[in-house]
Amino acid sequence: MNPEIIIKGSRGENRKKRSFFSQPLRVICLSFALVILVGTILLCLPISSKSREVTPLVNSLFTATSATCVTGLITYDTFTHWSRFGQIVIILLIQVGGLGLVTFSTFFTVIAGKKLGLREMQLAQESINFGSMANINKMLMGIVGTVLACEGIGALLMSTAFIPRYGVGEGIYISCFLAVSAFCNAGFDVLGRESEYISLCNYNGVPIVMYTIMALIVVGGLGFVVWKDIASYKSSKKLTLQSRVVLSMTALLILSGALFFWAYEWNNTMSGLSFGEKITAGFFQSVTCRTAGFNSIDQATLNPISKGISTMLMFIGAAPGSTGGGVKITTFSVLIMTVASVLRGREEVVMWNRRVDKSVVYKAVTIVVCAAALVLVASFIISFLLPQCAFLDIIFECTSAFATVGLSSGVTGEADTISKLILTLLMYLGRVGPVSFALSLVAGSSSRKEIMPEGKIVVG
């Protein structure tokens, strides 16, 4: 056998391996899958459950995916089923999943004083959805520092309510757990000690807890690029188009959502609350639908219109480059302005006197169509598997899974193994993005550009 042939073949294989792992989108998708796998194994261990029994694989996978993809859908109450070890595994999965394994690993590389190569910088840029590789080291340090600072401040504020109630040790633990979960828009809690699956329903009358969590959800959902813009506003005196869209639409959706929930839930799920608690509950429901997953009112008994509004808010989601999910608020805005531009007879999409590139418009349409198709197909399959569940509730649950929200209308509790696996897949695709996932599969494949003859087709 010719040794030269062996060497050439080996080099070819190495080139293929390098090519396979050289695509940033592919590495990011695989990194989330790796974290989920490790989390699943850890949660399966007897030490992770309070009963010291092995947790079924499907439920461990579901929980690990929900935590890593910062969703919040659960098959067990986090406090009553999982031991302290299991709870710590979950909160670590949330923290890593919120920022991304690539961001964390790159951050520690920078801290260790090592220089980032071009590939590492490309991965970091894609992971945080940053437009440039310039000053990526500084951006990473700023992101992680901001995350830890916000979570620390949030935990400190909430500890003023939980320490008097549970003592210093447990009060700090609960506060830290909720702060990380809220900032990462995860929706996991350890308040099952009060009642299983209670979430924050007992805290509508505790403003320091509710408004701190709302603030953490909103800040976490703004996105890293918007943070940078706000931080530099004092010197630059201007905001980018993305920051303007994110900030204005976030305020509009929160306020309009709260108004709808007050209108339809004032005498329904909020009927037993005081006036101040109803105001808090309305705002909280509007904010938590932005991919957070906590709830302060019963989601299963929501008015059907409220469920529809919640589903729409969940589908829209947070900002790109944030810890939140959904199709993203900028995608929705581009789509709306595209419709507005067509109705006005404009050839181009304009936002804040700025022209939006057609490639962005095409991507926005693709994302929304793919997302809607995934949610609908999953809903149809689950409705066939779970005929006892209302179709609106199933759409609500599937949207919650895909948009990595975690609000539940009770379908997850009724789900069989196949339904849980479908919801698990939705959570994963929702976190990495269906378009990004599809591109990661075909990235690097050779495609030849061809000039096609123009064809005419009538629409509308």
Alpha-carbon span 301 to 42, nearest angstrom:
35
Buried (b) or exposed (e) across 210-243, using 16+ Cβ within 10 A? bebbbbbbbbbbbbbbbbbbeeeeeeeeebeebb
Residue 19 has pLDDT above 80, yes or no: no
- Cα 79 to the center of its chain, rounded Å: 22
* pLDDT tens digit sequence for 367-389: 999 999 999 999 999 999 999 99
Supply the pTM of this predicted model: 0.87
| 354 strand-pairing partners | 351
Structure tokens at 302: 């929501």
Q: Is the CB of residue 186 less than 8 Å from the CB of residue 94?
A: yes
Phi, psi of 448 (to 5 degrees): -95, 125
Burial class (CB within 10 angstroms; exposed 0-12, middle 13-18, buried 19+) of 297: buried
Domain boundaries, the chain: 23-439
At residue 103 the predicted structure's pLDDT band, cuts being 50, 70 and 90, is low
Residue 17, pLDDT score: 47
* pLDDT tens digit sequence for 228-268: 888 888 787 888 898 999 999 999 999 999 999 999 999 99
Residue (of 122, 97, 104) closest to 324 by Cα position: 97
Radius of gyration for the alpha carbons in the chain, expressed in angstroms and rounded: 23
Residue 435 has pLDDT above 80, yes or no: no
The DSSP result for 257-301, as a single string, is: HHHHHHHHHTTTTTTTS-HHHHHHHHHHHHHHTTTT---SS-STT
Sign of CA dihedral 384, 387, 389, 393: positive
Residue 55, pLDDT score: 96
- Cα 275 to the center of its chain, rounded Å: 32
Residue 355 has pLDDT above 80, yes or no: yes
